[in-house]
Structure 1
Amino acid sequence: MLAFLSFVGFTLFVAGFAYYKTRNAHLTDSAEGYFLGGRSLTGVYIGGSMLLMNLSTEHLVGLNGLSFRTGFIVMAWEVMAAMTIVLFAMFFLPRYLKLGISTIPEYLERRFDKQTLTITSILFLSMYVISLLPIVLYTGAIALESLFQVSHVFNVDKDTAMWIMVWGVGGMGALYAVFGGIKAIAVADTINGVGLITGGLMVTLFALAYVGDGNVWSGLLEVYESNPDKFNSIGDKDSLVPFSTLFTGLIISNMFFWCTNQSIVQKALGAKNLAEGQKGVLLCAFFKLMIPSIIILPGIIAFHVFQGQIDNPDHAYPNLVQLVLPEVLVGFFAAVVVGAVFSTFSGGLNSSVTLFTVNIFKKSLKPDATEAQTVKVGKFLGLGLALVSMIVAPLVANAPDGLFYLIQQLQGIFNSPILSVVLVGLLTKRVPAIAAKLGLVFGMSAYILFNFVIKIDIHFFHLVGMLFVINVVFMLVVGYFYPQEAYQEVYTEQVNIEPWSMSLPVSVLITLGSVSMYIYLAHNVPGWLMTGYYVLAASALGYVFWSIGRELMKSPRLAARAQAD
């Protein structure tokens, strides 16, 4: 009963606060208000929304399942993410806001042509329906079954319980996304983000205390000393995610997700100005460095507690939560898990709707549609996609290498071709539209052929990296022999693009934190490398402290005091 009351209480609080913050009608009546929050989002909401759009049950369940199997080597997704988020804040976001775009395909239409926009929009829509929305619902159902034993409550078998939870959570998430718009999503995401980090840290601390008989530090030492191979950031050549993939497809996958993926980028496109956008994006990057303690370490603790004796690694984290968390906190954590599912599911739906209405409906099907008609079509499409996702969700069970790994494999279909086209568009002026269209079609087709049909003996991340390079080289060659008229970027002046004064030093600090995590968790690091690292770290910290001092001296109070002296 305590679990149920805490679940209901936190869920109602989030819903009520989101309604209070978004009760202005214009945020859901106009297309810009519905899709971009009226370009009024501040840094805290952007950072929280981006984090929770990414961090959901496919991470809590799926990535902890991978760490249960392989250890800290899977932190590559999270640590590399922090560095690519920095890249988004410093390079991509200023250009996106300068152009005043609503979607990434909209930029590709300006840079190339309308057909490029249509192809990219279809690819994004396919990615959300195939590799995101159903898996998010299914992993959420796994977590809730473990926390609340839904099959026992309703006296049904576990498969039936999965269907009940998928449709219950999916239905509420769809209503949330379809009738709330992106600002409602962003506000609720921020609260749920705080709850998810708090709840996730509590699970880790309670689990370590369980292992250490009440002492968290003793528990951590016992887990580490009993499983030293699990605490290796490098892994070995047989790792599920070999270290070498960091420099090929994994960095491509991360750049795609954080710099060009519509569901993530859309949060920052709603920023009131560039400074607020950079603050929010870098806040998200900072929290990504904390995330391994929530979505990787518990999987290793579960391996220690259950002695590796769990049939399906994707059940490791839910079983650990049920074992160590007090009843009064189980309901709160379940509410946070549901909020995480809502966030990713509703964010994916909102992005899908934005892609279709802005790039296909308004551009090709009904160019003269009114704002109200556009929003109405978007709402109907959102409900339709939600239904498809809820039907497909239970069919993704029993992925051989885990659900998170399945997501990454499926997204390989889309990430290399889309990222290559966006990057070439941003970095060149004369590559023609035909090169972009051929690159998109070739990249997608080649990945499906080599990874799923022929199944060549190469890690799929290496394949993603190879196809990315081939795509870029091909487009540059076409641009060299058949150049188009030089493309000129136009500043739309929709928002102020003056950068945040502390964006560079904060970016340096986050990058240093990412490298430090790899250095300190790596086994057998050569002495010369450690010496070079210490020199680099000292230089970076010196620059950061100098920048902080410079900013403090600019404050009105200090300036007035200096003038008085």
Structure 2
Amino acid sequence: MSAVIILSFVGFTTLVAILSWYKTRDDNVDTQDGYFLGGRSLTGVFIGGSLMLTNLSTEQVVGLNGQAYNNTMALMAWEITASFALVCMALIFLPRYLKSGITTIPDFLEERYDKKTRQIVSVLFLIGYAATYLPTVLYSGALVLVKLFNIPEVFGIGEMPALWITVWAIGIVGSIYAIFGGLKAVAVSDTFNGMGLIIGGMLIPILGLTKLGGGSFTAGINHLVTVNPQKLNAIGGPESPMPWPVLFTGLTFNNLFYWCTNQSIIQRTLGAKNLKEGQKGVLFAGFLKLWGPIFLVLPGIIAFSLYGNSISNPDMAYPTLVLDVLPRPLAGFFAAVLFGAILSSFNSALNSSVTLFTLDIYRPIINPDAADTEVVKVGKRFGVCLAIASMIIAPFILYAPSGLFVYLQECFGFYNIPILAAVMVGFFSKKVPAIAPKIALVVHIILYGASKFLARDIHFLHVLFVLFIISVSIMLFIGKIRPRETDYVQKYTEQVDITPWKYAKPISIFICIMILVIYAFFSKIGIVA
């Protein structure tokens, strides 16, 4: 292992840590809002940067590129349609969240329904983070770093021991940020790492195309467009893991859950200084997502053009390409950038888990009279336990039957749709009672579980679309036959100013137009012969 690689890795990682400490050194993290919401002081740049990097961890980079290696540009749907979900977040969801001054999504569900609904959803989030999301982030990150640093050969150990060592290294560093720094330390470090990820991420397809063209970038593009043009088609056919009809069914609602109600993602928006800054940050992230396919899907296509079917595990396509095309002096920097991306997703989800446990379970159920300092202290202890559990589970993701990214999305399917339905029905109906989301949740889990055995040939996103309609219908039907005694009226808590940003709607329209333009470009209308 080159000393240059190690020095550049350590140097960039240390720089981000120092800058993050400097930006948050005077913050008070002993209070509830200070620790869990960054003192409600986050501005648009930090919100947008943190949103982007929390999402862009290695389960994205490795998983999507791996799927693209085996398939086509149709996988870019996960990225491009996320921009539409972020538009919805900016214009529909965020104004209502900030109006209520909530700290967690379950907070809103208690306000709209009852305390029991809040607690059930908090437990579901915690199970999802602990059993699937946190371990998957650690595993996918370790997979890349093991390959980049060639850890088995350097230390003379097997693949599995190398995976264990790397998982624990990532988990320990990520835990320090999340548990001891609070949300603002997470958001600030995310933003700095995000800059490096965009620069480093864009380098890989550029260098890959140059190698594909025998030293010429333009020749590489020509090869990609002429030799395997079908790989660039974003309109997925029936056999694709992303057939085009799902764009208008389950994918839309899956993304709405992820970007508008998933606690680990939206927590930084709840810490916005005001609605104006929150909308700036969310729409900034929506604009950045439009560029995501360039470094999250295209490298997988380039890897196929370079190596054919020689890579047996598609999740290794991206690490193989990086190791092949990246100059050694930049390898350490890129590894540090990926390390930062891994930390971002891990520590964001860990921070959100701590928030959910302490504010939705510990304080209301176990110790209602706990002071803020006690709540923060208990949260840190819970974070340590959850981090250790995730580090133990992570290496076993190696045995997941499908690709990383699809595995993660299918796991989310057990609880994402009823939570989204409960929030949306809560926004737009005044009479649906507290029993409705509970019944909808039970029905969803039973039907989704059954679909894994009885509807294996139906794409899981189509299943989620049907289940969303069922969940909403159940809740509205119950609201009709057994309405609330009093109509729900949302109150403005005045935690932050909720005057909207004057450019929010024009920029949202621009983003939606760009989605259509990008799809046209990667289709038979555009560059696909």
Same fold (TM over 0.5): yes
How far apart are residue 455 of structure 1 and its match? 4.9
Q: Which residue of 1 aligns with 2:19?
A: 17
Q: SS of the residue aligned with 2:402?
A: coil
Q: CA deviation at 1:454?
A: 4.0
- Partner of 1:42 in structure 2? 43
Q: What's the CA shift for 1:129?
A: 1.3
**1:291 corresponding residue in structure 2:** 292
For the pair shown, the structure with the greater C-alpha radius of gyration is: 1
- Residue in 2 aligned with 1:540? none
Partner of 1:118: 119
Shift of 1:211: 1.1
Match of 2:150 in 1: 149
1:511 paired residue number: 512
2:480 is aligned to 480
CA distance in 1, matches of 2:399, 2:357: 32
- Does structure 1 conserve the Cα–Cα contact (< 8 Å) formed by 2:27 and 2:34? no
SS state at 2:415 partner: helix
Matched AA of 1:515? L
SS in 2 for 1:240: coil
TM alignment of 1:220-299, pairs within 5 A? 220-299=221-300
Who is 2:305 aligned against? 304
Q: CA deviation at 1:524?
A: 5.7
Q: Tell me if 1:429 matches 2:430.
A: yes
**Aligned equivalents of 1:142, 1:329: Cα separation in 2:** 19
CA distance in 1 between partners of 2:250 and 2:23 (Å): 40
Tell me the equivalent position of 1:407.
408
TM-score by length of 2: 0.97
Instruction: Name the CA distance, whole Å, in 2 between partners of 1:182 and 1:421.
Output: 26
Which of 5, 8, 17 pairs up with 1:3? 5
Q: For the residues of structure 1 that align with 2:26 and 2:16, how far apart are their CA atoms?
A: 17
Alignment of structure 1 residues 85-100 onto 2, 5 Å: 85-100=86-101
Partners of 2:43 and 2:277 within 8 A in 1: yes
1:176 aligned partner, one-letter code: Y
Q: Alpha-carbon deviation of 1:9?
A: 0.5
CA deviation profile, 1:51-101 (whole Å, cap 9, x unmatched) = 011000001111000000111001111111001101100110001001100
Task: State how far apart, in whole Å, the 2-side matches of 1:217 and 1:387 are.
Answer: 48
Shift of 1:450: 1.9
SS at match of 1:413: coil
Normalised TM-score (structure 1):
0.91
SS at match of 1:397: helix
Residue of structure 2 in register with 1:462 after alignment: 462
- The separation in 2 between residues aligned to 1:240 and 1:311, in whole angstroms, is 18
Residues 213 and 221 of structure 2 are in contact (CA less than 8 Å); yes or no, is this contact kept in structure 1? Answer: yes
Distance 2:100 2:307 in 1: 53
The amino acid that maps onto 2:358 is T
Equivalent position SS for 1:311: coil
Aligned to 1:350: 351
Residues paired across the two proteins, number: 523
Q: Is the 8 A contact 1:185 1:346 kept in 2?
A: yes
SS state of the match for residue 368, structure 2? coil
CA–CA separation in structure 1 for the residues paired with 2:517 and 2:402:
29
Residue number in structure 1 paired with 2:209: 208
What is the CA deviation profile of residues 291-327 of structure 1, one whole-angstrom value per residue up to 9, with x for unaligned ones? 1000100000000111121000000000000000001
Work out the CA distance in 2 between the residues paired with 1:34 and 1:492.
20
The amino acid across from 2:463 in the alignment is L
Is this contact kept in 2: 1:208–1:220, CA < 8 A? yes
Tell me the C-alpha RMSD between the 2 structures.
1.1
Counterpart code for 2:505 = L
Q: For each residue in 1:525-555, what CA deviation from the matched residue of structure 2 results, as whole angstroms up to 9, or x when unmatched?
A: 9xxxxxxxxxxxxxxxxxxxxxxxxxxxxxx
Report the residue type matching 1:91 in the other structure.
I
Q: Which amino acid aligns with 2:425?
A: V
- Aligned partners of 1:268, 1:467: CA distance in 2, in Å? 28
CA separation in 2, counterparts of 1:119 and 1:3?
47
Give the letter aligned to residue 16 of structure 1. Answer: I
Quote the offset at 1:449 in angstroms. Answer: 2.5
Query: CA–CA distance in 1 between the matches of 2:162 and 2:455?
Result: 35
Maintained 8 Å contact 1:3/1:327 = yes
Q: Please say if 1:185 is aligned against 2:171.
A: no
Instruction: State the 1:122 CA deviation.
Output: 0.7
Does the 8 A contact of 1:286 with 1:510 survive in 2?
Answer: yes
Superposed CA deviations along residues 336-365 of structure 1, whole A, max 9, x for unmatched, are 111011000000000001011111111111
Stretch of structure 1 that moved more, 111-120 or 393-402: 393-402
For 1:25 and 1:279, how far apart are their aligned partners in 2? Answer: 23
Q: Tell me, yes or no, if structure 1 residue 418 matches structure 2 residue 412.
A: no
SS at match of 1:376: helix
1:83 is aligned to 2:76: no
Q: Distance in 2 between matches of 1:125 and 1:414?
A: 11
Partner amino acid, structure 2, of 1:386: A
Distance 1:356 1:447 in 2: 26
* Cα-to-partner distance string for 1:193-218 (whole Å, 9 max, x where unaligned): 11101100011111111111222122
Match of 1:133 in 2: 134
Structure 2 distance, partners of 1:519, 1:361, is 50
Match of 2:60 in 1: 59
In the alignment, residue 383 of structure 2 is paired with which amino acid?
Answer: G
Deviations 1:351-390 (A, max 9, x none): 0010111111111111100111100110011111111111
Name the counterpart of 1:442: 443
SS of structure 1 residue aligned to 2:436: helix
Amino acid in the other structure paired with 1:316? A
Report deviation, 1:224.
2.0
Please name the residue that 1:549 is paired with.
none
User: What is the distance in 2 between the residues matched to 1:304 and 1:399?
Assistant: 26
Whether the aligned pair in 2 keeps the contact of 1:421 and 1:440 (CA below 8 Å) is no
CA distance in 1, matches of 2:268, 2:428: 23
